[in-house]
Amino acid sequence: MRHLILGAGPAGVTAAETLRRADRDTTITLLEGEGEVPYARMALPYLLAGRIDETGLRLRTDADHFRRLGIDLRHGRAIKVDAAARTVTLADGATLPYDRLLVATGSRPTLQRIPGIDLPGVHTCWTLADARALLARARPGTRVVQMGAGFVGCIIIQGLVHLGVDLTVLVRSGRMVSRMMDPPSSALIRRWCQAQGVTVRVDTLPERITQGDGHLDVHLPGGERLPADLYLCLVGVKPNVELLAGTGVRIEGGIQVDDTMATGVDGIYAAGDVAEHVDVVTGARLVNAIQPNAVDQGRIAALNMAGRSAASRGTFPFNILDTLGLKSSSFGAWQGVEGGEAVEVTDPARYRYLKLQFKDDRLVGANAVGLTEHIGALRGLIEGKVPLGPWKARLQANPSLLMEAWLACKLKA
């Protein structure tokens, strides 16, 4: 049996190792597309911040790890899958055969469609090569205009501040991390960043970028112009799914998979940031681009590829974000659900906020800022769909009683 895994991020590496444990004799090829050793993309901000070196990014520290496991780690970029012939074509023209294929190709950054986005000095920060380029140019006092303040944008802020740059963050929408935080919590994060010396401008989208005299000029609506030594574009990502065109694999927001991570096309599975699966809380389908989800899906896909039986009960969306030392988090349906109820408590002077979302007698989502205690209990109550009974009213009266509610409801169950 020939197993081919496209992508050497957390999903792909986990899948390769799981396959080896499940079958000592099978052939496993792990294709890495950046010419690097497998690394954790989400650790790049720590590299920018000087908290780790490049070896700290590696998913496996032993240089001989994959060879010892009999996993053929190759470098190359897959560009086309032929589901009928069961082959994958690489950018260099090579062809790899497979019996079972796992697509774990992750995602790539999107770029703004504005004039000047291709000028020298415009960067993204998605790959290790991107991070190296930033480190080579960013110095104390370097003027950096960063477009985008989503999850990735906020953790990059920490690295840039550590480098001592003069940082201006432009936010297209009215609030930072709008896809995981509600308006009050987003406002706290914005105020915190400003207090750390970062300029944050919301409802701002540049019209174009031009080459100035030794620098870039970022043109804003109304004629304002921001000089910048670097322009950092962090406006979102999209899954790498184009290589599946013509295979019959169904693609919506991502690759549609069932509970076994199978795509419905014989022999093809998907996992990680390209896979769209069911939200365990709401039942809606979504791409849940977080590392724990990628690891879990990679493991489940591999077991099924090896002929074992394994099924996901659905994906659970959550994020924990550190923005210049201010911790924030979102869980489940943090925006609330139709017919639901919500309660919040806030202490803006201390940058603390908690909002709980209920549906019937269950917690379905939450936002928290400045609160790190009892986060596990919060996740457990939501992900476990734990019936609250009388604890719903108690939490509505005092949302801080999360641990007490968790212990009481779990003991009762």
> SS3 string of the chain?
CEEEEECCCHHHHHHHHHHHHHCCCCEEEEEECCCCCCECHHHHHHHHCCCCCHHHHECCCCCCHHHHCCEEEEECCEEEEECCCCEEEECCCCEEECCEEEECCCEEECCCCCCCCCCCCEECCCCHHHHHHHHHHCCCCCEEEEECCCHHHHHHHHHHHHHCCEEEEECCCCCCCCCCCCHHHHHHHHHHHHHCCCEEECCCCCCEEEECCCCEEEECCCCCEEEECEEEECCCEEECCHHHCCCCCCECCCEECCCCCECCCCCEEECHHHEEEEECCCCCEEECCCHHHHHHHHHHHHHHHCCCCCCCCCECCEEEEEECCEEEEEEECCCCCCCCEEEEEEEHHHCEEEEEEEECCEEEEEEEECCCCCHHHHHHHHHCCCCCCCHHHHHHHCCCCHHHHHHHHHHHC
Strand partners, 368: 329, 354
pLDDT tens-place string over residues 28-55: 999 999 999 999 998 998 899 888 999 9
pLDDT tens-place string over residues 210-266: 998 899 999 999 999 999 999 999 998 999 999 999 999 999 999 999 999 999 999
Do residues 164 and 154 lie in contact, with contact meaning Cβ atoms separated by under 8 Å?
Answer: no
pLDDT above 80: residue 412: no
pTM given for the model? 0.92
pLDDT above 80: residue 410: no
Q: Residue 305: left if φ>0, alpha if ψ -120 to 50, beta else—which one?
A: alpha
Q: If you average pLDDT over residues 381-409, what whole number do you get?
A: 93
pLDDT at 413: 59
pLDDT tens-place string over residues 342-376: 999 999 999 999 999 999 999 999 999 999 888 88
